[in-house]
Amino acid sequence: MQKKTKNILKLTVGIIIACLTIWLTFRSTNWSELKNAFANTRWGFVVLVLPTLAASYVFRIYRWVALLAPMQKVKKAVATPPLLTGFMMNSVFPGRLGEFARSALLSRSTGIPFVSSFATVVVARLFDGLALTGLTLVVMAAMWDNLTNSVRGGLIAASIGYVVILFVLIALRKWHEVTARVIVFPLRKLHFDKIASKIEKMLLDFAIGLDVLKDHKELVKISLLTMGVWLSLCVSVVPVFYALEMSWFWYYPPLILVLAGFGMLIPTPGGAGTIHYALGVLFPAITGIPEPQAKALAIVFHATQFIPVIIAGLLVSKGNIKLDNN
């Protein structure tokens, strides 16, 4: 009951934030101009989002199978339903609940310990973060003169944060016992020995899922698959510009993904509201694109990126979604 209450609370807070950010995005909108932005939409181009979006998830599936390989050979057909179900839940619920569901579903079907399965999800997300860091650096290089100091500082800080997390995970894999002891040292210093022992054990179990980080060939493989994920996502944005008859530069698609990624850091259901604000308010402020066009872009981008995933997740889950992360 306590867990259910906590999840309901997260959902409620997420919905409130989503409503607030949607209001902030559209409160000063000229609705006739927004209508005009949609007036000549060529919806046939929107369909072209689907092949490259699907390709990004194929790359994700291959990557997860590769991350799981040091523990157990998992077939792609076995990994696909948990992955799509997890992304579907992330698209509906706030707080990344889908990551826990994905790990729990895979553990249930393969016998891999939940903590170890979850570690591979964390590693996959970390590589996604590093890819976003790379895209951020590319965008910053292309648009440096157009960015304010605050925007530059925020992008640089986020990039540094991802790199720090990577080093912590590498240290946990290479010197797992020492790193785990260092992490829980403050708790032991405060005499929370029982909590420290539990966390230390969880970290050691978690380290099992980081096996791929010690193999250079596997690291290269994971890196290439991650590049496939994000290049596919970049290409999937392009048809939206053509659908809305918007002019664009080559660095607009990665910029959209970077801004959407920051929007997803705030826990709302599927980035609702926060992605719309990032693309409908921040994107035009950075690029000079008229706000009505940017808001139309935000609406179409969000729909094309999330609705297909929700449908795919529902199809593979067959209505039997149970979140169990104990």
C-beta neighbour count of 137 within 10 angstroms: 15
CA distances for 270 relative to 6, 50, 212, 231, 267, angstroms: 18, 18, 29, 21, 8
Token code pair at residue 168: 């912590």
How does pLDDT run across 150-190, given as a tens digit for each residue?
766 766 776 676 667 667 766 766 676 777 777 777 777 77
| Res 319: pLDDT | 47
Q: Where are the domains of the chain?
A: 2-317
DSSP 211: G
> Whole-angstrom Cα distance, residue 276 to residue 263?
8
> Whole-angstrom Cα distance, residue 94 to residue 97?
7
pLDDT band at 197 (very low <50, low <70, confident <90, very high): confident
Find the DSSP H helices in the chain.
2-26, 31-39, 43-47, 49-68, 76-90, 97-110, 114-143, 149-174, 176-189, 193-208, 216-243, 252-264, 274-277, 283-287, 291-317
CA 189 to chain CA mean position, Å: 35
Nearest alpha-carbon partner for 18 in 268, 205, 314, 189: 268
Share of the chain above pLDDT 90, in %: 21
How does pLDDT run across 229-257, given as a tens digit for each residue?
999 999 999 999 999 988 889 999 999 99
How does pLDDT run across 101-123, given as a tens digit for each residue?
898 899 888 888 888 888 888 88
